[in-house]
């Protein structure tokens, strides 16, 4: 109980005591005019003070502990008072309409954006965000993504049309003249091999075997046999080596007719490769079989582990939030602020959510008040009510005594005038 309440209670008691003492002290002087006036005033003040004391006390308890009918009104009608208070809160003070009128004046979007903009600059918030990101990434099991990635990769490869891919590759080879470069490379490497002694011996053996196994009749057979007797493997190899090297040298010349014919044939085959349906079918079948049998789980898991380690190392940078997180958040916030339509849409959505929440939970206001009141026993509840409105109650008692005093004074004067 605070000092003001104690003072008001003390004042109420003093006023009643003054009236009683005044009444007693004026009894010996009731034959005098002043005594009659004061006695009538004090008497009425005492009656008024006692009546108000009785009335006020009767609200909370039985006066003097006597169970007088129609006293202790609040304890006897606790349930009715609770229900009345709940109805008053729900239907008069905190109605859905009144709450929504207040809510409608609040710009939630501006307030939220302002709070977010301020808080993301806070060092503590930065540490929390940084820690949350690191912890989240550590807890993520990247390996669970392996089956999904493998399925997606295989699905993509199976959908790839080999003919289109080969056509694209072939067109690239022709456009960039890779066919000519490959042809030159083959000629160069073939020339290097043909110039070796090993190549000469190999070609000599092959030529000798070719002569010996050639079947012929008559004069041609005699000529072949004669040639075979005159030539050995070394001479045949020398002749073939010279022939091959000369042909390579000639074909390497950009103006050589045979070179032009060979390159034109190669390019023709490359440009029309997608039109070779059987070849394309075989390539697609081979590709699909290869993809179906492909096991990518191990490689994907290794790549995911490596990616996770690199991501964690990247996120662990001291200024990660300042350099990478906050700029993104700020750009997003500024983009929202600059877009009036988006701001309006967000504001409408927030108000709709708040309105729905209030509509669905409005009855809980009364329920919450009732639950809290029901938790208190009657004595505690009465004491709380009496203490909270005690000052005004005590002044009722004081006012009763004072008003009674002046009314008694007026009535006494009236009686003297009449009689």
Look at residue 118 and tell me whether its pLDDT is greater than 70. yes
Q: What separation in angstroms does the CA of 181 have from each of 82, 174, 175?
A: 98, 10, 12
Among 49-58, 84-93, 235-244, the range of highest mean pLDDT: 235-244
This prediction's pTM: 0.46
Q: Residue 100: how many CB atoms within 10 A of its CB?
A: 16
* pLDDT, tens digit (0-9, with 9 covering 90-100), for 98-109: 777 777 778 888
Q: How confident is the model at residue 70 (pLDDT cuts 50, 70, 90)?
A: low
Contacts of 376 by beta carbon, 8 Å cutoff, 6+ apart: 384
Query: What is the torsional sign of CA 364, 110, 344, 336?
Result: negative
- Please give the Cα distance from 405 to 417 (Å, whole number): 18
pLDDT on residue 60: 61
Q: What is the mean pLDDT of residues 382-409?
A: 64
pLDDT on residue 131: 92
Q: What is the mean pLDDT of residues 166-173?
A: 79
Which tops the pLDDT comparison, 247 or 174? 247
CB 130 within 8 A of CB 321: yes
**Chain centre to alpha carbon of residue 194:** 71
- Please give the Cα distance from 75 to 73 (Å, whole number): 6
pLDDT on residue 3: 45
Query: What is the torsional sign of CA 39, 41, 47, 52?
Result: negative
* pLDDT, tens digit (0-9, with 9 covering 90-100), for 290-339: 878 878 888 888 888 888 899 999 999 988 999 999 999 889 888 888 88
148-177 burial string, b = 16+ CB within 10 Å, else e?
Answer: ebbeeeeeeeeeeebbeebbeebeebbeee
pLDDT on residue 149: 86
Among 6-10, 74-78, 85-89, 107-111, the range of highest mean pLDDT: 107-111
- Please give the Cα distance from 38 to 96 (Å, whole number): 57
């Amino acid at each position: 109980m605070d000092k003001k309440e104690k003072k008001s209670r003390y004042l109420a008691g003093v006023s009643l005591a003054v009236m009683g003492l005044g009444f007693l002290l004026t009894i010996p002087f009731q034959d005098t005019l002043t005594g009659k006036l004061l006695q009538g005033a004090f008497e009425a003040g005492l009656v008024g003070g006692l009546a108000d004391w009785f009335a006020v006390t009767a609200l909370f308890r039985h006066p003097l502990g006597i169970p007088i009918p129609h006293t202790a009104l609040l304890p006897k009608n606790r349930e009715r008072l609770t229900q009345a208070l709940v109805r008053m809160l729900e239907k008069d003070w905190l109605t859905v309409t009144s709450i929504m009128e207040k809510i409608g004046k609040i710009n939630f979007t501006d307030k939220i954006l302002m709070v977010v903009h301020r808080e993301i600059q806070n060092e503590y918030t930065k540490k929390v965000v940084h820690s949350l990101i690191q912890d989240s990434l550590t807890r993520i099991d990247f390996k669970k993504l392996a089956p999904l990635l493998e399925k997606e990769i295989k699905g993509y490869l199976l959908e790839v049309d080999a003919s289109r891919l080969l056509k694209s590759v072939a067109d690239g080879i022709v456009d960039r003249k890779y066919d000519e470069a490959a042809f030159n490379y083959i000629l160069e490497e073939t020339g290097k091999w043909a110039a070796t002694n090993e190549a000469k011996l190999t070609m000599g053996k092959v030529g000798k075997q070719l002569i010996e196994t050639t079947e012929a009749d008559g004069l041609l057979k005699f000529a072949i046999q004669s040639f075979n007797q005159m030539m050995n493997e070394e001479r045949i190899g020398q002749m073939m080596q010279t022939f091959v090297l000369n042909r390579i040298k000639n074909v390497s010349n950009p103006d050589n007719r045979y070179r032009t014919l060979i390159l034109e044939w190669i390019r023709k085959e490359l440009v029309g490769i997608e039109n070779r349906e059987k070849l394309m079918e075989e390539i697609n079948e081979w590709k699909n079989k290869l993809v179906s049998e492909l096991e990518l789980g191990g490689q994907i898991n290794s790549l995911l582990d490596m990616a996770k380690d690199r991501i964690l190392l990247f996120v662990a940078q001291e200024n990660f939030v300042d350099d990478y997180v906050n700029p993104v958040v700020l750009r997003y916030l500024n983009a929202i602020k600059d877009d009036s339509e988006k701001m309006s849409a967000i504001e409408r959505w927030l108000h709709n959510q708040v309105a729905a929440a209030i509509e669905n939970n409005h009855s809980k206001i009364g329920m919450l008040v009732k639950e809290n009141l029901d938790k208190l026993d009657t004595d505690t509840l009465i004491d709380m009510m009496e203490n909270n409105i005690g000052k005004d109650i005590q002044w009722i008692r004081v006012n009763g005594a004072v008003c009674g005093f002046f009314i008694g004074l007026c009535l006494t004067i009236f009686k003297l005038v009449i009689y």
